[in-house]
Amino acid sequence: MGHATTHTDLSSQNIQLPAIALNFRKLAIGVAVVGLGGGAAIGYTGAFDTDAHHFWHAYLIAFLFGLTMCLGGLFFVFVQHLTRAGWSVAVRRPAEALAANLRWIWVLFLPFAALWMMGKANIIWIWADMETLKANNEAEFLIVQAKTAFLNPTFFWIRACVYFVVWAALSHFFLTNSVRQDESGDRAISSRMQKFSAPTAILFGLTITFAAFDWIMSLSPAWFSTMFGVYFFCGCATAGFAMMILITVRLTQVGALKGIVSREHFQDMGKLMWAFGIVFWAYIGFSQYMLIWYANLPEETGWFLARQIGGWGFFSFALLFGHFVLPFVGLLSKWMKRAPLTLSIGAVWMLCFHYVDLYWLIMPEIPSDLDTFAKYADMSAKYADTQTHFGNPVNFLLALGVAGTVIAGTISTLSRVALVPKQDPRLAESIRFENM
């Protein structure tokens, strides 16, 4: 592995998961059980004025909250191979473990299949029952009817299966090859992963884009945005990089990876979260809004108008400042990214606002009269008392439950492998890496 790693501690005590982390896995499992169980109990009993519409939308938000963390981890992994990056080898294994959850996360999507089998899928996706949609809003029905070649149950579930199979296969490929290299030291394995990273990028881009169309954009099937897939990608980057930072910092805090992971790595991970999760997110969000505002088409503007009236107006401003302005300034300095404490606070902050972003995307309903050319002032007055129900405990219980499940799965993977790709040919370069 080169002269630079001669004095690097690659003993099991330094690159194996400490026993204390297994206790944290038990805590994560407990959080998962309490969160998912408590959320389901609230949804079943209708406590806190939780109806079926709110519960299932809250569960969709929670599911995507966990899924985006794992997709962000996969993005980090294949991009490092695609660019043949050396600096990231020391921190790649946590991302591989995070992405490995994609092998089983389809299980959390099964409740939606059960809902569909019961004939109640229109609680979430209104196009699942076209007759009811026609009775409630004929104008929207006519728009959606033209999309039935794409928005139909059979094709919807075929696409969902393709997404999960592709994600599971890709995450499994990179993790197993990386671990195999730990054992054999075969440099050809690095070349193989680099070779497959390019088609992986294409598959990743296509699957997350269409998944965003299917699971989020089709909640309002008359609305469309060609930039929505990129916006969803920004969410994946936000959640994935934030979780990766928290996992890596925690590993160093419990005494692992000494002399391997340094502040230089923290700084670069912070750069990625700052660039993709803050700056690029704001750029795509503004671009999408600006184009729709400029075109001023009723079937497009209604989606944004519904998110600017009543209580949702506060959410829009909260995202502007909480997801962009404040973290942009707070993490701009390299010193904030080099310090584990401030970087961790930034990561937690971004995870919280990523959840707010998903809530803002999924929960609002578009009133049927927002597809008219009515004045904004009239609409604002009419829906001034629109409630967001963000404080409902079911939202946080389900989100914590899914997050706990993902964390427990990540720890389980890390407990079975080395915490660093110990025979990767670029490990020496990563250890001696310094920011210019």
Cα angle at 322 between 319 and 328, to 5 degrees? 120
Cα angle at 308 between 274 and 366, to 5 degrees? 110
**pLDDT tens, residue by residue, 371-428:** 555 677 778 888 888 889 999 999 999 999 999 999 999 999 999 999 999 999 999 9
Whether 2 has a pLDDT exceeding 60, the answer reads: no
Neighbours of 23 (CB within 10 A): 11
**pLDDT tens, residue by residue, 50-64:** 999 999 999 999 999
Do 57 and 363 meet the contact criterion of CB atoms below 8 Å apart? yes
Angle between helices 298-305 and 281-295 (to 10 degrees): 130
Task: Locate 172 and state its tokens.
Answer: 């499994």
**pLDDT tens, residue by residue, 359-368:** 999 999 887 7
- Please name the residues in contact with 260: beta carbons below 8 A apart, sequence gap of 6 or more: 8, 9, 14, 15, 90, 420, 431
Share of the chain above pLDDT 70, in %: 97
**pLDDT tens, residue by residue, 335-345:** 999 999 999 99
Whether 242 has a pLDDT exceeding 90, the answer reads: yes
Distance CA 315, CA 76 (A): 29
Terminal Cα distance for the chain, rounded: 24
Task: Locate 333 and state its tokens.
Answer: 């300095």
Q: What is the average pLDDT score of the chain?
A: 94
